[in-house]
Structure 1
Amino acid sequence: MTTDVHGSEHGLSKFHQLLVDQLRHEFTASQQYVALAAWFDGRDLPRLAGFFYRQALEERDHAMMILRFLLDSGVPVTVPGTDAVRNDFDTPRDPVALALRQERAVTDQFHRLVAAAREENDYTGEQFLQWFLREQVEEVATMSTLLAVVDRASGDLFDVETFVARDLRPAEAVEAGAPETAGPAAS
């Protein structure tokens, strides 16, 4: 491993190193959503399972958007593994609360990325991140709403399933203005 004068691996700017790190975060988020989906799927809650399976694909696509940007920017990339994910939960509220915490953490990560791009006058990088900032507002709002619905349902998961089926419709396969992915987007 080589380190430049700024302490970055492989001579990367702080912004590019954070973006490479974000690949791991996005792939980990995708795997965590698979674990949440499997937890609901194993309890015969198909709407909640489907919602979280779709979230997993969305996070995978976010990683692939970052990968495409890095490759197009000439930044050397080593595709990372993922961090550990949680698979066991005591109540149906626990996985949804974890999802909300995860989305808030990802929002903070993107704020740090924008600050680093701005600090380095990387206008292209900052522009690339704008879509992710808007996406994170939506993601936190969705998970906050889902957690509130789970709490109000007082254990009646059929009400939650009905809400998910009625109100949490799948997003368009590829949103207008979304960055391009490396390889095909999940559809």
Structure 2
Amino acid sequence: MNATDSTFMGLLQAQVRNEFSASQQYIAVAVWFDAKDLPQLAAHFYRQSVEERNHAMMLVQYLLDRDVNPVIKGLDDPQTDFDSVTAPIALALRQEKEVTGQIEALFRAARAEDDALGEQFMLWFLKEQVEEVSSMSTLLAVAERAGDNWFHLEEFLAREAVGDSGHDSSAPEAAGGAL
């Protein structure tokens, strides 16, 4: 199938932008936490930003490997101000659920086009989204329980591993190498 006629390849191009947008949003969240002197939360979201950047670069590498020219597009401005400690975490959870829907659509498009290579590539991202949604759900639940004492959340993050830190030996290769 010609890549220009492929719904899957078109959605994959759009997903590159989506992943870079998620990365940018996580930087904005991290900076907000940093400005509030919450270093554990800031560090968590800085790591999340790098992880999303790496996901975008994995998609870029896949496009290159399939002889499709990746198109890198500009991003919308991220949300940078929040009214509570739970607001940026709730935003992150909504974002991860949205990305899950996008990845599911990519998988379905590859399957509909009988693109076994595309379908296999998307399996890792489906697995990754289960972890992403789960870790953000946990973080939001803990933040809600912490109430106004943000340091309980800081202590939780210092004590507990939330997410996989973006290190997975089964992950696809990222263009230019993963950070």
Shorter-chain TM range is over 0.9
CA deviation after TM superposition for structure 1 residue 81, in Å:
1.4
CA deviation after TM superposition for structure 1 residue 117, in Å:
0.3
Alignment of 1:1-187 (within 5 A): 11-168=4-161, 171=164, 174-186=167-179
Q: Could you say which structure has the higher helix fraction?
A: 2
Q: C-alpha separation between the residues in 2 aligned to 1:172 and 1:161? A: 17
Could you list the structure 1 runs, at least 4 aligned residues long, displaced by more than 3 angstroms after superposition. Answer: 169-174
TM-align CA RMSD = 1.5
CA deviation after TM superposition for structure 1 residue 171, in Å:
3.5
Q: C-alpha separation between the residues in 1 aligned to 2:150 and 2:165? A: 26
Equivalent position amino acid for 1:104 in 2: K
Task: Please give the TM-score of this superposition, normalised by the length of structure 2.
Answer: 0.95
Q: Which has the higher contact order (CA 8 A, sep 6+)?
A: 2
CA deviation after TM superposition for structure 1 residue 92, in Å:
0.8
CA deviation after TM superposition for structure 1 residue 104, in Å:
0.2
Q: Which runs of 5+ in 1 are unaligned?
A: 1-7
Between the aligned residues of both structures, percent identity stands at 52
Q: Which runs of 5+ in 2 are unaligned?
A: none
Give CA deviations for 1:88-128 in whole Å, capped at 9, x if unaligned: 11111100000000000000000000010000000000000
